[in-house]
Each structure stands twice: as structure tokens, then as C-alpha cells.
Amino acid sequence: MKKFLAMILAVTMVLSLAACGKSSEAATSGEKREEELYSMVVFTKGAEYFNWCYAGMQDAAESIGDFIKVELQGPAEWDASQEARAVETVLAKKPNGIVVSCADESTLIPSINKAIESGVPVICFDSDSSESNRLSYVGTNNNTFGAVAGKAIVDTIGTEGEIAIIMVPGAVSMEERAQGCIDYLKENAPNVTYTVLNDEGDVAKAEQVTSALLQSNPNIKAIFSTHGYGAPGAAAACRTLNMVGDITIIGSDYDSATIELLKSGDIAGTVIDDPYLLGYEAFMLSYAAAHPTDVLSGNAPFGHVPPLIFGSCSLLTGKVLEDPAAAARYENPPKIN
């Protein structure tokens, strides 16, 4: 709760700073403001999760004024080197700010640092590159995220049994989520043991590895996927093996497929953050960083931005979606060109 309040406070501060900048600049100049470009760079462009993020960025930009232009760039593949190239290409357009979700911690460091050196503020969101010179990170505390999944599992299967954790080894956010879940289990259900499955971030592969595991180990009671594609893959495996309802599947994030599987009961729950808000906040931070005030910031020559903002996370279940008002929030994903 404290973190949530801190986040709200930080966002309010940033919005206020941005609004102050806007009103003072608008007051002094009656003429049309010069166009500003802000770029969002992601990996797996086209993924519904990042469409939500970009929708947040678009709305945030619109709230400031029509002189703000935004764009979504990045490779369709989960390839950090291609994403680094996308950052560099975007940089050639001399944008006013870049917000980026990093495919891995290290590979984008040179590109992010190059942008900062050339005076373009970079804000990381969703997936960080903490060793780079990025100004701020807007994301989720992945340990807490994993703990929410751990609690959902214990609430369903009790304090004994075997579970599987689906992840892509090396992806820091997933490793943190897995660790958060493991830590929760160690503390609250030490008799629950776990197996780690690598699905390479692919739904078909998730189905394959889950099917193999469920056939070879009938003691598995629950599966936690640390990313968005794992739970639909595990649900497909359970359907093939006629095990729907026997295995508790807890996913991460949401997209249209996950929402349908939650409604049908194939997936018991999914831990969610708010991608729309992440995109919204990340843009606001980049705008604030691109508009320094008269008060010198710790990031000079950039504007005032906090180094870290953590959003909240919660468990979304089929029961929550029975409420049409709640369901409407998740059922209409934005379509991005």
C-alpha cells in the first residue's frame, strides 16, 4: 500500500511539474508550440501488453497538447541487439525523449548511454537496464509480483505439493518474479517443492514443455508462468491431457487469450500490473525530463524525475471478470498501427 501511495505521489509530482511547465510556457507564448517527438521502443512489438503501454503513452501525450507526437518502434522479435539498433535509429530523429522496455539488462546500455550523452532523456519502463545511465525506471516490483502468485497457489493447493514455474532463464524480470514466488513458498508453505521450465517465451513451446512435465510427473498441482505466453500454453496442455481443473494455472499479465481462459476457468488467475499506467507514467517522466525547470535537478541538464517508480500488482481471476464493469477494462485491447 505504501508503495502504491508513493507511486501516486510521484506521478502527481511529475504531472504537476509537467503541467507547470506547460502553463508557464503557454502563458508566455501565444503562438503554436514547436512539435515534440517522443519514442517508445519495445521488444516483441505487436504484443498486446506493449499496445496497452503505448495506449497509455498516447493518452498522456494527448493530455499535454497536440504539439506532442509519439511513436512506437522496436523489433517484433525478442532480440535485444535489434532493439538496441532501433534505439539508435530513433535517436537519429533527434526525439525529445525515449521510453524503452529493455529485452535484457545489458545489451541496450551503449545505446541508452549514447542517447543520454546526446541530450535525449531515456526512461526505462516495464523491463529495466539498471546499469545504464537511464534517468528513471517505471515498473513493477517483480518480487512482490511473484509473491502474489505464490499466495494464489498456496490459497488453492494448500501448503503441500509440487508446482512448476515457467520462465525464460536470464530474463531478469522473470527471474525476480520466480524468486518472489519461491521466497513466498519457502516462508509460508515450505513443503511445496518446485520445478523450473524454460519455454523460451513462446506459447507453443510452453504447451510442449508443460505437456511433457504433466505426463512424466503426476504430482504437479500448480503452474506459475512468469510471463504472458506461458499460462495459455499450459492451459492448452491441460486441455489436451484432459486435466482442466486438476492443475491450478497462475499466469502473468493479460491479453485477450488470457482473459478468455480466465473466464472459462482454464486459468485460475493471472498476476497483473497496469501496462497502460506504465506507458502513461513513462511518457510523463520523459516529458518532465525534457523540460527542466529553473530549479536545477540532480539529472541536469535534464528535468526533475524520480529514479524509480514502482506500480502495484494484483491477482485477476475469472470471478473478477464476472463483473461487466471490471471486465470491460480488460476486454478491449487497444489496436496500434
* Residue from the set 12, 16, 24, 89 that interacts with another protein by CB under 8 A: 89
Minimum distance from residue 94 beta carbon to another protein (Å): 6
* Residue from the set 91, 100, 231, 234 that interacts with another protein by CB under 8 A: 91
C-alpha cell at 86: 532501433
Q: Which is nearer to another protein, 77 or 323 (CB)?
A: 77
Q: Which is nearer to another protein, 50 or 310 (CB)?
A: 50
Q: Does 66 bind another protein (CB under 8 A)?
A: no
Of the listed pieces 72-80, 202-210, 224-232, 266-274, which binds another protein according to CB under 8 A? 72-80
Q: Does 1 bind another protein (CB under 8 A)?
A: no
Q: Which is nearer to another protein, 89 or 217 (CB)?
A: 89
Minimum distance from residue 294 beta carbon to another protein (Å): 30
Amino acid making up residue 223: I
Q: Are strands 269-272 and 314-317 parallel, antiparallel or unpaired?
A: antiparallel
CB atoms inside a 10 Å sphere around CB 34: 8
Residue 67: its H or E element:
none
Q: Does 307 bind another protein (CB under 8 A)?
A: no
Minimum distance from residue 226 beta carbon to another protein (Å): 12
Q: Which is nearer to another protein, 45 or 221 (CB)?
A: 45
Q: Which is nearer to another protein, 112 or 313 (CB)?
A: 112
Residues that contact another protein, how many (by CB under 8 A): 37
Angle at 104 between CA 102 and CA 107, to 5 degrees: 95
Q: Does 79 bind another protein (CB under 8 A)?
A: yes
Q: Does 82 bind another protein (CB under 8 A)?
A: yes
Q: Does 78 bind another protein (CB under 8 A)?
A: yes
Q: Does 24 bind another protein (CB under 8 A)?
A: no
Provide the H-helix boundaries in the chain: 2-28, 48-64, 80-92, 109-117, 142-157, 172-188, 203-216, 230-240, 256-264, 275-290, 318-321, 324-331
Minimum distance from residue 305 beta carbon to another protein (Å): 25
Restricting to residues 104-143, which ones interact with another protein according to CB under 8 A? 104-107, 109-110
* Residue 218: Cβ-neighbour burial (10 angstroms; 0-12, 13-18, 19+): exposed
Q: Does 200 bind another protein (CB under 8 A)?
A: yes
C-alpha cell at 300: 541536469
Q: Does 168 bind another protein (CB under 8 A)?
A: yes
Q: From residue 158, how far is each of 74, 155, 222 by CA, in Å?
A: 42, 6, 11
Q: Is 141 left (phi over 0), alpha (psi -120 to 50) or beta?
A: beta
C-alpha cell at 89: 535509429
Q: Which is nearer to another protein, 106 or 293 (CB)?
A: 106
The torsion angle over the Cα atoms of residues 138, 47, 269 and 58, rounded to 10 degrees, is 50
Of the listed pieces 99-107, 224-232, 253-261, 272-280, which binds another protein according to CB under 8 A? 99-107
**Residue 301, preceding peptide bond in cis (omega within 30° of 0):** yes
Q: Does 46 bind another protein (CB under 8 A)?
A: yes
Rounded to an integer, what distance in angstroms lies between the CA atom of residue 317 and that of residue 15? 32
Binding site for another protein (CB under 8 A): 45-46, 69, 71, 73-75, 77-82, 84-86, 88-94, 103-107, 109-110, 168-171, 198, 200, 337
